[in-house]
Chains A and B, each alone.
Chain A
Amino acid sequence: MNWNNVKLIFLREVRDQLRDRRTLFMVAVLPLLLYPALGMGMLQMQLLFSEQARTVVIVGADDLPEPPLVEQGHFLKRYFEFPDDADKLRVVVDNDETDTGETDRNPDDALATKDGLIRAAARMQEQLDEIVRLKQEAETARAEGDEGEANTFDEQVKALKAKIDEAMTAEGIQVLIVVPRGLKEHIAEINEKLAAGDLSAAGDPPRLPIVRNSADEKSLIAYRRVREAVGQWEDQLLKQRLESAHLPESFPQPVNPEQIDLAQSQQLAANVWSKLFPALLIIMSVTGAFYPAVDLGAGEKERGTMETLLISPASRTEIVIGKFLTVLLFSMGTALLNLASMGFTGKHMLSIAGAGQMSQLGAASFPPVTSLLWVIVLAVPLAALFSSLSLGLAMFARSSKEGQYYLTPLLMVTMGITVFCLSPAVEITPFYSVLPVMGPALLLKALLLAQTDVTSLYYYALPVLVTSVGYCVLGLWWAIEQFQREDILFRQAEQFELRLWVKHLLRDKEPIPSFSEAGFCFVAIMLLQFVAMRMMAQSTVGVSPEAMPVRMMQLLLVQQLAIIATPALMMGVMLTTSVRRTFRLNWPALKYLLVAAALAPLLHPPTVVLSGYLGEHFFPPLPESAQSAIAPMLDPQQPWWLVFLAFSVAPGICEELAFRGFILSGFSRRGRTGLAIILSSVAFGVMHMFPQQVFNAALLGLVLGLIAVRSNSLLPGIVFHMIYNGVEVFRNRINPDVWNHPIVQRFVSTETIEQQTVVHYDWPLLAICSVGAALLVTWLLRHGTPQRQSSAEGAPTSPTISAAPTA
């Protein structure tokens, strides 16, 4: 690696990008202009399109008791928390002679509308009275046991409601308030009686129907405001009543639940920043990385300068790293410029927002300097990951246009992750902290939210940074890998024809599957699993609890056979010429069988304890469904043979056929056995869905892959797999008395949870097993049958890199 070359390439690319008007616009001009422009636009919109006033009609307003509810066509401002809200309701009353609303331009017109509204409202009032009558009739009918008649009344009520709704929509009335005749007098009368000490008078308060349609958005908003105003007004009425009865004002309030809001304006602001900053940082570092990456990768191919660079003394790794650093610079630049521009615009906007809910944010002070520093620190790994991914994609693309197509999926995935991280319920945990993108985003969110106690969050900084660097190294490695491949560098724009391609697949078969066929096999298994999930769930519906374990095991068997083994076998038969080599159907040397058989029980205790520990402290808890799936294993009612078949034999054969057969063979086609083992074990892990199982399976997948490669046979793997799963079944099924034997007690301890004996491995056993397993794995790493040269398989030769030194 010649860093001078990297520097040269980096400087050239940066200068090149800076000379490109498009990039400059995207990276610098757009963010600097966009947010202020957006802010201006929002202000303009607020001025131009203030919320349209909704119409409320009050029939019989004459009968409303004092204090006044309506004045000049609006509810009184003092009834609202935000006085401006009063203007958002236009109130039409039938006793008012003055003009109802300032919004109406022509007084005649307004008068006509007003009269029309009141007439319509009067009709509705009659219909409402009818509804009340019908409801009473229905009740009486029901009380008399005449269900049929009651139903007809109900039908009529429904029809009337529909009519009213129709009329309200037609007239543009959002809320209708019907004041019963003589309400004022009625209330005054009750007040008098109460003042005189006749408490029974308050028994049945007079009705005040408020009609609205909760399915209609406009009506809903109007109703909420009406409710607020009427509620306040009702409090005033109550106050009068208490006064007339010579009762203290605090009479209806035995306790005063006082709300003390600890939020300071700074915290409210922190809350806003903690959502905006991580989201914007992620989205902008993706877009900021993508456009320069496409220009540096596909664009360079398109303009015909790629080959010029390839024949220069700079190695491909140097070229990619130089380009990567450029993309990283622009990605970070875009992200941070966007943040700064948005921050200042937002702050300015809030400071001029005036009255309204936003005013609580006060001056929206920025987060403290340390938090801002963290924004910059965490922007690096985020931008680096996106830069390497974008660059890899851009190298793959034939043209800039093709490159642009890859932005959408990348953006979709990151958007999904961003939305997930923004959810208030999601907080940083040890598990999330090691996930790509999520770790930095959640840490940043937590840091921006935290006001005082930040030290506890620093514990997360290390795993977040270390894993982020790891992911971006992986991404970069992938990008370099893309750049090394001739078929990608010199991809021709050949037309793609499905028929031709299928023909090519079936015609030019090779002894073992290709890398992409293996990848496709894995994807097919995952897709089938996804599709089958629903069917599996459905087939357990309505099964009695006794029959459930059997059904679960049947499903497990079906899943193993149909979803895992079948695709692999079918692809193996159709796409390769040597089923035997693809699935490693060779008779292994006896030593490998013995090692596999010994390794399985040795590895069981340490791996179970490790994944149990991680499950408790690291991974999110297992969902209910996963636990019910393994429940039959613990059920002593089930026959031994069925449990072994479902949990040990079937997975042993089916999963090995797929993952150590077809997939591992395909992955190792390029000659990188170590990488193939890692990839196949990751695939094997991912297939298990739940984080704990994913981890454990991936770990075992490494050992299984190593066994398969060393022995060049599938059989030892099957033996290992069956025994490993078998031990788990055995541990859960064996007569609990065995564990109580004094010798056994030295190695294990038992615990009874919900009538089940749970066995824990103790330290001596763990230590012995770990040492034994380590010895055997080392032996496997050292003693391998040399693999046949991959050149014999017709694949282009490349230097073989093996994870394990071959002796």
Chain B
Amino acid sequence: MIEVTDLTKAFEDLRRGPVLAVDHVSFEVHSGEIYGLLGPNGAGKTTCLRILSTVLKPTSGRAVIAGYDVAEHPEKVRANIGFMSGNTGIYDRMTAWEMVEYYGRLYGIDEATLQARLEEIFNTLQMNEIRDLLGSKMSTGMKQKVSIARTIVHDPPVLIFDEPTSGLDVLVARAVLLAIDYLREKGKCIIFSTHIMREVEKLCDRVAVIHKGRILDSGTVEELEARHQQPDMEELFFELIRRHDEELIQGGVGIAEGV
């Protein structure tokens, strides 16, 4: 469902000059699978997922979602994904119902289907009591529910979650994770980024450790642990990052010596 090949994104940075925020990243995600992107802040997770959601354009490389290339058919891609991140807020001056309904209409769902779908989602996510509550009056948990409802209103085959639990209390975070798990069971293709190891261990079928724009290693949690002889995900993660930074320094020295 998601095929990413050699995806690269370059930025201009005032301090550092041109920077590769995403550096030749490749991976695949299939239906009914949760793929985790695990990395510290600034690793390039958000940039990578923004490219997948067509908000950013790749500098080079390809990403194909549900059969559509993100650079060539961005509208088709957007119609087939649900995207949720810390940056996708909800409107203050709209009620929960209006907000989800509005996005449903933007997806071009016909009115009868949309109303039925809204009822279904509001029931499943237990949102009926905040139906007519304005966004500005909602708690973080309620907002997150509205966001999830907004993400799945058009029943997309591909879902992208960019650190969906960041800044949430444990109860809400758990609810969000349960919702994602439920979506996998419904056969969705899900990509999920986080910097929290436990979430990865609990939820992801496969995981990629990403640091400084590069995927350091990927596979199932068990595979990775076996490959690097580390007992748990946390140790593994730090080990990978440490090794990569060392390589970078050595590489830098090597280049300096070469000159």
Residues of chain A whose beta carbon lies under 8 Å from any beta carbon of chain B? 4-5, 8-9, 12, 15-16, 19-20, 303-305, 307-308, 310-315, 486-487, 489-490, 494, 497, 500-501, 504, 507-508, 794, 796-797
Bound Cα distance A484, B75 (Å)? 14
- Cα distance A4–B109 when bound, in Å? 12
Cα–Cα, bound, A507→B10 (Å): 17
A19 touches B93 (CB 8 A): yes
Asked whether, in the complex, the Cβ of B106 is within 8 Å of the Cβ of A312, the reply is: yes
With A19-B93, A313-B78 known as contacts, the answer to whether A308 contacts B150 (CB < 8 A) is yes
Chain A residues whose CB sits within 8 angstroms of the CB of B105 once the complex forms: 8
- B258 at interface by CB-CB < 8 Å: no
Select the stretch in B83-91, B111-119, B199-207, B208-216 that faces chain A. B83-91
* Size of interface on B: residues with Cβ below 8 Å to A: 35
Given A311-B53, A504-B14; A304-B106 close (CB under 8 Å): no
**Which residues of chain A are within 8 angstroms of B74 by Cβ–Cβ distance?**
315
Q: Mark B6-50, 1 if CB is under 8 A from A, else 0.
A: 000010101101100000000000000000000000000000000
Alpha-carbon distance between A549 and B92 when the two chains are bound, in angstroms: 69
B59 touches A311 (CB 8 A): no
Cβ of B204 to closest chain A Cβ, rounded Å: 22
User: Does the CB pair B55–A311 fall under 8 Å?
Assistant: yes
Asked whether A16 lies within 8 Å of B91 as measured between CB atoms, the reply is yes
* Closest CB in chain A relative to B83 CB, distance in Å: 4
| Whole-angstrom CA separation of A421 from B86 in the bound complex | 50
* Interface check B56, CB cutoff 8 A: yes
* CB of B130 within 8 Å of the partner chain: no
Q: Does B102 contact A (CB under 8 A)?
A: yes
Structural contact, A504 and B57, CB atoms closer than 8 A? no
CA separation between A304 and B91, bound complex, in Å?
9
B175 at the interface (CB under 8 A from A): no
A308-B150, A310-B55 in contact; A315/B90 too (CB < 8 A)?
no
Residue of B nearest to A7 (CB): B105
Known: A8-B106, A313-B79, A501-B14. A303 touches B92 (CB 8 A): yes
Contact status A16-B94, CB under 8 Å: yes
Q: How far is the CB of A514 from chain B (nearest CB, A)?
A: 10
B165-199 contact mask (Cβ, 8 Å, vs A): 1 or 0: 00000000000000000000000000000000000
Report A498 CB to chain B, min CB distance, Å.
Answer: 11
Q: Chain A contacts of B87 at CB under 8 A? A: 304, 307
A489 to B56, CA, bound (A): 10
Determine if A305 and B78 form an interchain contact, defined as CB atoms under 8 angstroms apart: no
Given A8-B102, A305-B88, A504-B14, list of 5 further CB < 8 A pairs? A15-B93, A15-B94, A16-B91, A313-B107, A794-B18
Question: Which of A4, A312, A507 has a CB less than 8 Å from the CB of B103?
Answer: A312
Within the complex, the shortest CB–CB distance from B238 to chain A, in Å, comes to: 28
Contact status A305-B89, CB under 8 Å: yes
Per the bound structure, the CA–CA distance linking A64 and B164 in Å amounts to: 97
**A9 to B105, alpha carbons, bound, how many Å?**
10
Tell me the dominant secondary structure on chain B's binding face.
loop
Say yes or no: A304 contacts B88, CB within 8 Å. Answer: yes
A487 vs chain B, min Cβ distance (A)? 8
Residues of B within 8 A of A303 (CB): 89, 91-92
- Chain A residue numbers with a CB within 8 Å of B2 are none
With contacts A500-B15, A504-B14, A504-B17 known, is A308 near B88, CB below 8 A? yes
Q: Which 4 A-B pairs have the closest CB atoms?
A: A304-B89, A308-B88, A19-B93, A311-B83
Whole-angstrom distance between the Cβ of A15 and the nearest chain B Cβ: 8
Residue of B15, B75, B89, B102 near A313 (CB, 8 A) is B75
Do residues A307 and B108 form an inter-chain contact, with CB atoms below 8 A?
Answer: no
Q: Indicate if the CB atoms of A305 and B55 lie closer than 8 Å.
A: no
On whether A486 and B93 interact (CB within 8 A), knowing A307-B85, A311-B83, the answer reads no
- How long is the Cα–Cα vector from A15 to B99 in the complex, in angstroms? 12
CB proximity of B20 to chain A, nearest CB, Å = 13
Q: Are A508 and B18 in contact (CB under 8 A)?
A: yes
Q: Which residues of B contact A500 (CB under 8 A)?
A: 14-15
Of B81, B92, B102, the residue contacting A12 (CB under 8 A) is B102
Q: Which of A20, A311, A500 has the most CB of B within 10 A?
A: A311
User: Within the complex, what minimum Cβ distance (angstroms) separates B132 from chain A?
Assistant: 13
Q: Is the CB of A4 within 8 A of B14?
A: no
| B125 to A: closest C-beta gap in Å | 17
Give the docked Cα–Cα distance between A508 and B94 (Å).
46
Shortest B109–chain A CB gap in Å is: 11
Closest chain-A Cβ to B203's Cβ sits at a distance in Å of 22
Q: Is the C-beta of B144 less than 8 angstroms from some C-beta in chain A? A: no
**Chain B contacts with A in 92-144, Cβ cutoff 8 A:** 92-94, 102-103, 105-108
The answer on a CB contact under 8 Å between B103 and A486 is: no
Q: For A494, what are the chain B residues with a Cβ–Cβ distance below 8 Å?
A: 14
Contact of A796 among B59, B75, B78, B150 (CB under 8 A): B59
Complex contact B89–A308 (CB within 8 A): yes
Residues of B within 8 A of A305 (CB): 88-91
Question: What's the nearest-Cβ distance from chain A to residue B73, in Å?
Answer: 11
Minimum Cβ distance to chain A for residue B39 (Å): 19
A731, chain B: closest CB distance, angstroms: 50
Least distance between A558 CB and chain B CB atoms (Å): 37
Contact A315 B14 (CB under 8 A): no
Q: Do B15 and A486 touch (CB < 8 A)?
A: no
Which of A4, A310, A486 has its CB near the most chain B CB atoms (within 10 A)? A310
Q: Which residues of B contact A504 (CB under 8 A)?
A: 14-15, 17
Q: Are A313 and B108 in touch, CB under 8 angstroms?
A: yes
Give the distance in Å from the alpha carbon of A497 to the alpha carbon of B13 in the complex: 13
Hey, which chain B residues are within 8 Å of A507, CB to CB?
A: 17
Complex CA–CA separation, A313 to B77 (angstroms): 8
**A311–B107 CB distance below 8 A:** no
- Minimum C-beta distance from A497 to chain B (A): 8
CA distance A307 to B147 in the complex (A): 12
> Would A16 and B83 be within 8 Å (CB), given that A310-B55, A311-B53, A504-B17 are in contact?
no
